[in-house]
Amino acid sequence: MPLDARKRLNVRVNGDPAETEARTLAELIASLGYSEGAVATAVNGDFVARGERGKRRLAPGDAVEIVAPRQGG
């Protein structure tokens, strides 16, 4: 394991503060128990496509949005 694997990052997930050992958006989604195909994501206001989540490295303070289909008018 790389040395930084034990360091925890402080980020925000859906508006709430969260501590994570995840290094990428894909790892974060998996660690939280989301099914990857059932959600869409954005980091700091920018859309991150499903195929890009593994490449999107997390930095301290990142604001992550994880959304799913919902009723709408």
Partner 1 sequence: MNAIEPLPAGTKPLTLYGVTVASRLLLGTARYPSPQVLSNAVKASRAAIVTVSVRREQARANAGTRFFELIKALGVRVMPNTAGCRTPREAITTAQMARELFGADWVKLEVIGNDDTLQPDLFGLVEAAAALVKDGFKVFPYTTEDLVAAERLMAAGCEVLMPWGAPIGTGRGLANPYALRSLRQYFPGVPLIIDAGVGAPSHAALAMEMGFDAVLLNTAVATAADPVRMARAFADAIAAGRTAYEAGLMEVRDMAAPSTPVADTPFFDLDRS
Q: Which stretch binds partner 1 (CB under 8 A): 2-10, 19-27, 43-51, 54-62?
A: 43-51
The Cα angle at residue 42 between residues 36 and 4, in degrees rounded to 5: 75
Backbone angles phi, psi at 40, to 5 degrees: -120, 155
The CB-of-2 to partner 1 minimum distance in angstroms stands at 25
- 1 near partner 1, rule: CB under 8 A: no
Sign of the Cα torsion 68, 33, 62, 46 reads: negative
Residues of the shown chain interacting with partner 1 in the complex, contacts defined by CB under 8 A: 14-15, 32-35, 38-42, 45-47, 49-50, 65-73
